[in-house]
Amino acid sequence: MYYLNPRLVNLERIFDQNERSSYLRLDLNENPGGLPKTIIDDALSEITPELVAEYPETAHFTKVLAKHIKATPQNICLTNGSAEAIRYVIEAYTGENGKIIGVVPSYFMFQVYSEMYGRNFVKVPYSDSLDMNIDDILKEMTDDAQLLILLNPNNPMGNVYSDEEVAKLIERAQEKQITVLIDEAYHYFYPKTFINYALSNKNVFVTRTFSKLFSMAGCRLGYVVGQPESVAMVQKLTTPHNTNVFALKIAEKVLTTNGTLDTLIDNFNQGRAYLINWLDLNNYKHAGSAGNFIFIQPKTDAEKLVEHMKSEKKILIKSYPNVGKLGDCLRVSIGEQTFMEQFTKALLELDK
Ligand SMILES: Cc1ncc(COP(=O)(O)O)c(C=O)c1O
């Protein structure tokens, strides 16, 4: 008899992220400016026909990355974007109907994977004032829970956790034997990291990506960090040769070319400061800018603004309904000042 996994029939996925290249793309938290062209040229100049013909060799790059994050190569499993890393942690560390605790709203793939694998995703909502009360998370950390997902900072809410809050959550997780996944996709925009927990606890993982500050979303490269025996279990789930030589070369150039990361961070900080200052001067309420994105309460209808930004200004942004006390909001990716100027000029014209 033909078989189809019944979980797939009603599983909702979004695959409409195409034909965006002629727009200013402030909708998916990419870096609209991208990497300096010299980095790309440098990396490509080392790509030979032989390298392209070979399956990618990851050992050298993993060593470079390990040095950067002050860990060992055995602490790292490379993945095809961190979305893949998240999937593997869920697959490896939760079982059929297993309870997964996650805050909402948040990166939607946590729920998609939970549904795909038949897990029980338990939502912990934000308060109206857009805060996350960790007591609400602690309450859900019951004996039957298998995985707690934290984002540092969260997308789309842009909130962060204090050292004390994370210490409390990890302590409870250990008491109840719950694995913890900390998604640090937006690390560098907000420098605090909880990677030390992953390096020192068997059941704590951190996932990171090269898609955001590293401006390499088109290359698909991410990784999981954890203790060697735990990461080895994640590694077992990977498809053979799940990363590619272009991603590895470009990422290596970013990590090893003096000043590149600092310049990316400086440019971003300048863009963020400009945008926030402009919003304050123009009486816009906004929230959650710890990542490379921000919620803005528009003066007119959020959904219509998204449409007009696209059709009249060639700018892509997103709308989010019912964002606590802010109501219907725009979520806008933050990039270099020049792109923020383009956006604020458009907002001034359209939002009245
Ligand atoms: C919180 C969070 N985690 C993970 C990802 C996945 O990113 P990637 O698969 O490009 O590494 C995203 C993408 O937007 C995200 O917002």
pLDDT given for residue 142 in this prediction: 98
- Domain match, 277 and 320 both: yes
Ligand 1: which atom is nearest the Cα of residue 86? 4
Show the domain range for 86: 37-256
- Domain match, 296 and 196 both: no
30 within ligand 1 shell (Cβ under 6 A): no
pLDDT in tens, 47-93: 999 999 999 999 999 999 999 999 999 999 999 999 999 999 999 99
- Domain match, 186 and 44 both: yes
Ligand 1: which atom is nearest the Cα of residue 29? 14
**Ligand 1: which of 82, 103, 161, 331 to mutate, judged by most atoms within 8 Å of the beta carbon?**
82
- When divided into structural domains, the chain yields a total of 2
- Domain match, 246 and 277 both: no
pLDDT at 16 over 90: no
Ligand 1: which atom is nearest the Cα of residue 209? 11
Q: CA angle, corner 248, sides to 245 and 252, nearest 5?
A: 140
CA distance 352 to 348: 7
Pairing, β 315-316 against β 286-287 = unpaired
pLDDT at 17 over 90: no
217 within ligand 1 shell (Cβ under 6 A): yes
298 within ligand 1 shell (Cβ under 6 A): no
91 exposure class (CB count in 10 Å sphere: 0-12, 13-18, 19+): middle
Q: How far is ligand 1, taken at its centre, from the CA of residue 222, in Å?
A: 9
**Under 8 Å between Cβ of 143 and 176:** yes
CA distance 318 to 336: 19
Q: Which of 214, 231, 256 is the endpoint of a domain?
A: 256
**Under 8 Å between Cβ of 92 and 102:** no
230 sits in the region (left: phi over 0; alpha: psi -120 to 50; else beta) called alpha
Q: What percent of the chain has pLDDT over 70?
A: 100
89 exposure class (CB count in 10 Å sphere: 0-12, 13-18, 19+): buried
Tell me, yes or no, whether 54 lies in a domain: yes
Single-letter amino acid, residue 337: Q
- Domain match, 45 and 124 both: yes
- Cβ contacts of 240 within 8 Å, gap of 6 or more: 55
83 within ligand 1 shell (Cβ under 6 A): yes
Q: Using H for helix, E for strand and C for coil, what is the string for the chain?
A: CCCCCHHHHCCCCCCCCCCCCCCEECCCCCCCCCCCHHHHHHHHHCCCHHHHHCCCCCHHHHHHHHHHCCCCHHHEEEECCHHHHHHHHHHHHCCCCCEEEEEECCCCHHHHHHHHCCCEEEEEECCCCCCCCHHHHHHHCCCCEEEEEEECCCCCCCCCCCHHHHHHHHHHHHHHCCEEEEECCCECCECCCCHHHHHHCCCEEEEEECCCCCCCHHHCCEEEECCHHHHHHHHHHCCCCCCCHHHHHHHHHHHHCCCHHHHHHHHHHHHHHHHHHHHHHCCCCEECCCCCEEEECCCCCHHHHHHHHHHHHCEECEEECCCHHHCCEEEEECCCHHHHHHHHHHHHHHCC
Ligand 1: which atom is nearest the Cα of residue 222? 11
316 within ligand 1 shell (Cβ under 6 A): no
Question: Is 16 or 270 the better-scoring residue by pLDDT?
Answer: 270
- Domain match, 68 and 152 both: yes
- Domain match, 233 and 320 both: no
Tell me, yes or no, whether 113 lies in a domain: yes
pLDDT in tens, 327-344: 999 999 999 999 999 999
Tell me, yes or no, whether 8 lies in a domain: no
- Domain match, 98 and 41 both: yes
- Domain match, 93 and 203 both: yes
Q: What is the CATH number of the domain that holds 314?
A: 3.90.1150.10
211 within ligand 1 shell (Cβ under 6 A): yes
Partners of 204 in beta bridges: 180
Q: How far is ligand 1, taken at its centre, from the CA of residue 335, in Å?
A: 17
Ligand 1: which atom is nearest the Cα of residue 211? 10
Provide the pLDDT confidence category of residue 25 given band limits of 50, 70 and 90.
Answer: very high
Tell me, yes or no, whether 6 lies in a domain: no
Tell me, yes or no, whether 78 lies in a domain: yes
pLDDT at 246 over 90: yes
Provide the pLDDT confidence category of residue 254 given band limits of 50, 70 and 90.
Answer: very high
pLDDT at 289 over 90: no
Q: Which of 241, 256, 271 is the endpoint of a domain?
A: 256
**Ligand 1: which of 31, 86, 87, 155 to mutate, judged by most atoms within 8 Å of the beta carbon?**
155
- What are the structure tokens assigned to 41, written together? 């040229």
Q: Ligand 1 atom 6: the closest Cα is on which residue?
A: 83
- Domain match, 166 and 230 both: yes
Q: Which of 240, 256, 272 is the endpoint of a domain?
A: 256
- Domain match, 215 and 127 both: yes
- Domain match, 247 and 281 both: no
Q: What is the CATH number of the domain that holds 124?
A: 3.40.640.10
153 within ligand 1 shell (Cβ under 6 A): no
Q: How far is ligand 1, taken at its centre, from the CA of residue 22, in Å?
A: 23
